[in-house]
Structure 1
Amino acid sequence: MLLSNVAVNRTVVHTQLVSGSRSALHALSRTSHSVPVTHTHQRRHIFSHKRRLSSSTLAIPFALSNTNSATTAPLQFLSNVSLCRVTPGTITTSAKATAPNLDKMSAEAATTAAQASASPVEDSFLKKAVSCQSETEREAVMAARAAKKALRETKETWWAPYVALTKPRLTVLVVLSAMSSYALTPEAVSLTNLLFLTVGTALCSGSANAINMGREPAYDSMMTRTRGRPVVRGAVTPNQAFTFAGITGTVGTAALYFGVNPTVAILGASNIALYGGLYTTLKRKHIINTWVGAVVGAIPPLMGWAASGGSLLHPGAWCLAGLLYAWQFPHFNALSYSIRDEYKKAGYVMTAWKNPGLNARVGLRYALLMFPLCVGLSYYNVTDWWFVLDSSVLNAWMAWWAFKFWQQENVNIALAAAGKQYSQNPFARKLFWGSVVHLPGVLLLAMIHKKGQWDWLFGPSEDEKKKTLSS
């Protein structure tokens, strides 16, 4: 608390400090003389500027005791966290420490720090001034920093590399395609089935991706796109990646088997084998690897359809699978074109550099195939006929960029044959990002237009009424 009957002179020294803030403060006190104190102000106190002491600006509020009075009261120093007391004595400061001269005073103090000497009282005060936090608060701050650092190190060295092994963004896309198909099935659905389908599909996808990374660190290190993967960086070893893949694959398949049904479990296990085994091997053998990879992408919709007990012989299930299969080509062919030189350097046999014309032509061909596949979903009563209309907008958008990509590639091939220079195909990137938006958009529209979705609001269609009457 502040002591009464102590005459003080309210003085605030606002000193601009850099890393040597303590030295500047010491120099400030050593190069000054005593300031006389009057008795006109009683019970005055000043609170410190609410700013971290580590900042380049430090405000030092302090009160001066009356050294001329018979009774010398202890100096009171009040900060925003604690009250620091200094033993009686003469605390000195510059007689010219007025507001306009503060910056000049701090500069002069810093230059004369090595030539000055200070009394124990002055030194004690300044030490208190620059470290006026309580011990409890300092310990709490240090403990919080240590905990945050430990959490960050734990994340970087323990679970983050294993999450990266699963290729989270790709896994999310795989899970969403399975969930969308599950939502579109005409059979009854349940929350429990959906939960097991989601977890099991995610674990199976993560297992396949971990096997893929564990087998290719030497080649992934040659590509900018893949050199940051955990096995390449040494965050996990290939054996650890394979162990992780074995655990997640086993748990994922078991979740699908016991929580959904054996058909879905078989499809999940086959996807691990196709992606982690056949596709990864073919990447360095033949361009057919892209078609095998597309089959891998087509399996999750079949898993979602079968999860509700729907028959895999239903044409609607294969329209959904075909949708995912066809989408792979404009998406991946545009992606691989942009980094075709890196694929070639790493030894991956991709159509983008083996046969650029075929690469662009295949991308356009399968982009156009999206139109009849969406019509098929309506024809086989998976969606209503309005889906054909609005899905055609997204299909036309992606098909347009696929066409421009193919057209420009033909021009580039002609220029190369004539021995002329040509620039990078600018439509590859546009097609890639167009495909990223296209697939979620089409799946969302399909769920909105699911057959019978809006019968509660608009009533059943004429076809549904005829079916009801005939039955």
Structure 2
Amino acid sequence: MWKLTLPCSRLPLATNSTSCIRAASVRCFSYDSKVRKSANFYYANGVLNATKFGATFNKSGFQFSPNYKLRTGIRNSSSVNPNVATGEFSPSVSSTADSVKRRIEKADLSLCHPVPLESTSDARIPFQVKPKNPSKKETRSVVQQYLQGEKLTLKQIYDPYWALTKPHLSFLIMLSSTCSYVLAPGPTNVAAFLCLTVGTLMASGAANAINMGREPSFDKQMVRTASRPVVRGQITPNEAYQFAAITGTIGCAILYTGVNPTVAALGLLNIVLYSWVYTSLKRRSILNTWVGAVVGAIPPLMGWAACSSLADPGAWLLAALLYAWQFPHFNSLSHNIKTEYRNAGYVMTAFVNPKLNARVALRYSLLMFPICIGMSYFGVCDKYFVLDSSLLNGFLSYRSFMFWWQQHTNYSKATLANGGPTEEAIKKASIYARKTFWGSIWQLPVVLVLMMLHKSGQWDRFFHRDELADESDEIL
């Protein structure tokens, strides 16, 4: 019998050589014998392999390593000859890693094949994805086909470049910018408003194009991004960069000449933050989510700066609202596709620290309450906005709370001591994550619309409040 030490989460105990860990998060273990001979094993591609023979350790037991930290490969070393059936190791001069591997392959591995956690947890992308032949990669881009004389319709050329800008994301960024412009107390101008709209869309599209140009090898490993035009070969990375350079330059020029230099500088800053800093951090640190939230908070500042001063508290409250919203939105989305993120090489909180992932989503959902109250306190919205916004914020906070509570229970010390959460508990966490995601989808646009409806002085002319105020002044 083998003695096991299980420092990882969600691991059922295995007490003999033919039992392994039915979890995709762990596939590697090591064994130390009483005779101070050891061997490490890892499970990959349906085969139990052995490596690191002949090392010595001070204590016995198994040690497990997460998948994303494993290094595969077989290395021949000194002589150790394990008995797979008993787990005992006896020295032998003629034994090698190859002979050990052959003995291991005779064992019953029916229980050793790792089962992805998501396969039993009803985890999936919380919205429908329609792949467009992601496995079929074009050998030539649409521009190369056109230059070589092939007849292409305008739609065939236009569609890949339109997808390159991530139109849904760009529209949301533009919406947050224009809503901020409407809420700002300064005088409005139709021409400036149009320039702000077009310039923001083009700057956002440029940042997204650079992002796609840098990540085709990673995007092709995820269902959600496998159909992107650079992955499919419709646009080459260099063409994506050229498109971004043209689009970003024109967009910032429109913001500079049609609005003001401050807005243009913020637009350029956002391109750099998203396409360079955020995109690079995605493969290095979980801090990428916090940097990405800053990217989402800048467009409201652009809209406010288009007609008013950034010294006004309202500008920063709007930016804080967009910053906070992105955590319940993205953390709940990433929970259900965390395996795809991990396999594609991205470092996300959802799989590095699941408890923190849910806790941060709840924390920033609750932060929206004081932010919306501050909008009324500083006179950006009327006093009734506190009531309306609290209903929506309460709705999102409740869903975030249920997501956090389930993850808190799943990863509690008591649960882990009993062998980890059940399949039902894991499934509940995925369901709550999807509900939180869809709650965030509805919450933000409705709150922005309510802000414009509750803008201070918005309805004064309908209720003749200005005339009543003048009459009161005359009486006094």
Structure 1 length normalisation: TM-score? 0.65
Give 1:222's aligned residue. 221
Match of 1:448 among 434, 439, 453: 453
Give 2:105's aligned residue. none
Match of 2:379 among 374, 378, 381: 381
1:418 CA drift (Å): 2.7
RMSD (Å) for aligned C-alpha atoms: 2.2
Runs (4+) of structure 1 moved beyond 4 Å? 461-469
Give 1:130's aligned residue. none
Match of 1:408 among 406, 409, 419: 406
1:464 CA drift (Å): 8.1
The answer to whether the aligner puts 1:173 opposite 2:180 as a matched pair is: no
1:153 CA drift (Å): 5.3
Give 1:396's aligned residue. 394
- Whole-Å separation in 2 of the counterparts to 1:388 and 1:443: 13
- Whole-Å separation in 2 of the counterparts to 1:461 and 1:376: 25
What is the identity, as a one-letter code, of the residue corresponding to 1:203? Answer: M
* Alpha-carbon contact 1:157-1:235 (below 8 Å) kept: no
Change beyond 3 A, Cα 1:312–1:465? farther
Change beyond 3 A, Cα 1:399–1:465? farther
Q: Secondary structure of the equivalent of 1:278? A: helix
Spell out, residue by residue over 1:50-102, the C-alpha distance to the aligned partner (whole angstroms, 9 max, x if none): xxxxxxxxxxxxxxxxxxxxxxxxxxxxxxxxxxxxxxxxxxxxxxxxxxxxx
- Whole-Å separation in 2 of the counterparts to 1:410 and 1:224: 28
1:155 CA drift (Å): 4.9
Give 2:288's aligned residue. 289
1:461 CA drift (Å): 8.6
Give 2:418's aligned residue. 418
Spell out, residue by residue over 1:182-203, the C-alpha distance to the aligned partner (whole angstroms, 9 max, x if none): 0000110011011000000000
1:412 CA drift (Å): 1.7
The answer to whether the aligner puts 1:240 opposite 2:233 as a matched pair is: no
Give 2:46's aligned residue. none
1:317 CA drift (Å): 0.5
- Whole-Å separation in 2 of the counterparts to 1:276 and 1:449: 35
Change beyond 3 A, Cα 1:299–1:466? farther
Aligned length: 318
1:321 CA drift (Å): 0.4
5+ residue gaps, structure 1, are 1-151
User: Which structure's residues are more often helix, by fraction?
Assistant: 1
What is the identity, as a one-letter code, of the residue corresponding to 1:443? Answer: L
What is the identity, as a one-letter code, of the residue corresponding to 2:266? Answer: L
5+ residue gaps, structure 2, are 1-150
Give 1:95's aligned residue. none
Identity fraction in percent: 58
Change beyond 3 A, Cα 1:467–1:154? farther
- Whole-Å separation in 2 of the counterparts to 1:368 and 1:247: 41
- Whole-Å separation in 1 of the counterparts to 2:345 and 2:470: 60
1:413 CA drift (Å): 1.4
- Whole-Å separation in 1 of the counterparts to 2:205 and 2:192: 20
What is the identity, as a one-letter code, of the residue corresponding to 1:400? Answer: Y
Change beyond 3 A, Cα 1:232–1:393? same
- Whole-Å separation in 1 of the counterparts to 2:199 and 2:472: 37
- Whole-Å separation in 2 of the counterparts to 1:397 and 1:185: 27
* Alpha-carbon contact 1:452-1:460 (below 8 Å) kept: no
- Whole-Å separation in 2 of the counterparts to 1:178 and 1:334: 24
Match of 2:324 among 302, 326, 330: 326
- Whole-Å separation in 2 of the counterparts to 1:465 and 1:286: 59
- Whole-Å separation in 2 of the counterparts to 1:380 and 1:463: 24
Q: Secondary structure of the equivalent of 1:348? A: coil
Structure 2 length normalisation: TM-score? 0.64
Give 1:435's aligned residue. 440
Change beyond 3 A, Cα 1:207–1:277? same
- Whole-Å separation in 1 of the counterparts to 2:469 and 2:379: 10
User: 1:81-92 alignment to 2 at 5 Å?
Assistant: none
- Whole-Å separation in 2 of the counterparts to 1:346 and 1:238: 18
1:459 CA drift (Å): 3.8
- Whole-Å separation in 1 of the counterparts to 2:404 and 2:465: 44
Higher relative contact order (Cα pairs below 8 Å, separated by 6+ residues):
2
User: 1:66-215 alignment to 2 at 5 Å?
Assistant: 154-155=153-154, 157-215=156-214
- Whole-Å separation in 2 of the counterparts to 1:189 and 1:392: 29
